[in-house]
Amino acid sequence: MKLEMYSTALKQQKRKVSIRSNLNKAFKRHWQLYLLVIPPVLYFLIFKYIPMANAVIAFKDYNVVQGIWGSEWAGLKYFKLFFENPSFWPLVKNTLVLSLYTLLVGFPIPIILALLLNEIRQGIFKRSVQMVTYAPYFISTVVIVSMLTLILSPRLGIVNDVLAIFGLESINFLGEPGMFRSVYVWSDVWQHTGYNAIIYIAALAGVNPELYEAAKVDGASRLQKILHIDIPSIMPVMVIILILNVGNIMAIGFEKVYLLQNPLNLATSEIIATYVYKVGLLNANFSFATAVGLFNSVINLILLLSVNTIAKRISNNSLW
C-alpha cells in the first residue's frame, strides 16, 4: 500500500517536470545512446525519407540537368496521363485480381495447416512436417521461378510428362495468360504456407489447457474443439494477419511477377509494379513512373488504414 502511494506520488512529480528538462537530463545521462542511433537514423533519412521527398518529381517535368528541385512543375499532368492511358484499367485489374487470388488462397491454408498440426502429438512425424514445410521459405524467388521453368516446361517438364500419362494434352503453363495467376499463387502457397503457419502454431500453443479439459468433460469431438476453442483463440492473430495482408494488396511483389513474365503471358502478368519498372528504368520516363508508383502507394496506405479502422470497430483487434 505504502509503496503504491509513493509510486503514484513520484509519478505525479515526474509529470510536473517539463519536457525540456526531461530531454536535457536524458541527453546528459544517455548521450551515448543518442550517439549510437545516429547511423541507423541517417540510414532511414537517406534511403527512406529522401525518396519520399523525391517523389515530388511525380508533379514535375523531371530532367537530369535541372535536377529534382530545379525541374519545372507539371501539376497533375502525369497522373492524368496514367488515368487516360489505355493500359490503366488492365494494370489495376491485373494487380487487384492477382492479389485477391493470393489472399483468398494464401490466407486460409496456413491456418488449416496449423490447426491440423496442433491435433497431432509431438513426434518425428510432426517435426518432419514442420521442418519440410518451412524449408521452401528460404529458397530464393529466382530459384523458385527457375524450378517452375524447368518443371512446367512444355517440352521437357515433368508435370507435362505426368499429364501425358493420364492422356492429357501438354499445357504451356508459363506461356498462357490464363495459367499465369494460378502458377503464381499456387507456387506461392507451396513456398510460404509452412512459414506463415508458424505464427498460428505459436498462438495455438498458448491456448489454456483447461478449456480442452472442460470440452472433454462435455464430450466434445475433436472437430468441435477446433471450431469452438482453437479458432476463437487464434482469432486476434488471424485479424492482424488479415489486416497486414489487405494492406499489402496493391504492393504485391515485383520480384516473382517480373521473373514469371514473358511476352506470351503479359495480358495477365503485367501489374503496376512491373509497369513502373519498365517505363521508369528501362524507358527512363522518371516522372511518369513515379506518378504511377505514388498512386499505388497512396491506394495501399488508404487500404491499410481503412481495414485497420474496420477491424478496430468490429473486433477490437488492430495494428495500433
Partner 1 sequence: MTRAKNSIRESLGDKVFMAIVYITLTIALLIVLLPLVYIVSASLSSPSAVTSGKVWLWPVEFSLDGYKATFKNSRILTGYTNSFIYTLFGTLISVTLTILIAYPLSRKSFYGRNVLMIFIVFTMIFNGGLIPTYLVVQNLGMIDTRWAMILPQAIAVWQVIIARTFFQTSISDDLVEASEMDGCSDIQFIWSIVIPLSKPIIAVLVLMYAVFQWNAYFDALIYLKSADLHPLQLVLRDIIILNTSGGGQMEASEMLKQQELSNLMKYCLIVVASLPVLIIYPFVQKHFVKGVMIGSLKG
Q: List the helix and strand counts (H, then E) for the chain.
A: 19, 2
* Site size toward partner 1, by CB under 8 A: 96
The mark string for 17-46 relative to partner 1 (x by CB under 8 A, - otherwise) is -----xx-xxx-xx-xxx-xx-xxx-xx-x
For position 307 contacting partner 1 by CB under 8 A, the verdict is: no
Nearer to partner 1, 193 or 268 (CB): 193
In sequence order, what are the residues at sequence separation of 6 or more whose Cβ sits closer than 8 angstroms to the Cβ of residue 320? Answer: 308
| Other CB atoms within 10 A of residue 58 CB | 23
Q: Taking CB under 8 A as the criterion, which residues in 283-302 touch partner 1? A: 286, 289-290, 293-294, 296-297, 300-301
Q: Looking at this protein, which amino acid is placed at residue 61?
A: D
Smallest distance, partner 1 to C-beta of residue 55, A: 5
CA 29 to chain centroid: 40
List, in sequence order, every residue forming a beta bridge with 73; answer none if it has no partner: 60
Smallest distance, partner 1 to C-beta of residue 54, A: 3
For position 89 contacting partner 1 by CB under 8 A, the verdict is: no
Q: Please tell me the distance from the alpha carbon of residue 113 to that of residue 108, in angstroms, as a whole number.
A: 9
b/e per residue 60-78 (b: at least 16 CB within 10 A):
bebeeeeebeebeebeebb
Q: Please tell me the distance from the alpha carbon of residue 246 to that of residue 318, in angstroms, as a whole number.
A: 13
For position 50 contacting partner 1 by CB under 8 A, the verdict is: yes
Among 79, 107, 190, 212, binds partner 1 (CB under 8 A): 190
CB-based burial of residue 134 (10 Å sphere; 0-12 exposed, 13-18 middle, 19+ buried)?
A: middle
Q: Please tell me the distance from the alpha carbon of residue 38 to that of residue 252, in angstroms, as a whole number.
A: 32
Dihedral sign from CA coordinates of 142, 147, 150, 154: negative
| Other CB atoms within 10 A of residue 117 CB | 18
Smallest distance, partner 1 to C-beta of residue 22, A: 6
For position 168 contacting partner 1 by CB under 8 A, the verdict is: no
Smallest distance, partner 1 to C-beta of residue 314, A: 18
Nearer to partner 1, 9 or 120 (CB): 120
Q: Looking at this protein, which amino acid is placed at residue 86?
A: P
For position 223 contacting partner 1 by CB under 8 A, the verdict is: yes
For position 235 contacting partner 1 by CB under 8 A, the verdict is: no
For position 166 contacting partner 1 by CB under 8 A, the verdict is: no
Q: Taking CB under 8 A as the criterion, which residues in 63-82 touch partner 1? A: 68
For position 108 contacting partner 1 by CB under 8 A, the verdict is: no
Smallest distance, partner 1 to C-beta of residue 97, A: 22
For position 310 contacting partner 1 by CB under 8 A, the verdict is: no
Q: Taking CB under 8 A as the criterion, which residues in 125-154 touch partner 1? A: 125, 128-129, 131-136, 138-143, 145-147, 149-151, 153
Dihedral sign from CA coordinates of 71, 72, 75, 80: negative
Among 105, 171, 211, 240, binds partner 1 (CB under 8 A): 240
For position 221 contacting partner 1 by CB under 8 A, the verdict is: yes
Contact 153, 170 (CB under 8 A): no
Q: Which of 120, 137, 93, 128 is nearest to 252 (CA)?
A: 93
Stretch that binds partner 1, among 7-15, 78-86, 177-185, 218-226 (CB under 8 A): 218-226
Q: Please tell me the distance from the alpha carbon of residue 239 to that of residue 300, in angstroms, as a whole number.
A: 18
Smallest distance, partner 1 to C-beta of residue 10, A: 14
Nearer to partner 1, 47 or 166 (CB): 47
For position 227 contacting partner 1 by CB under 8 A, the verdict is: no
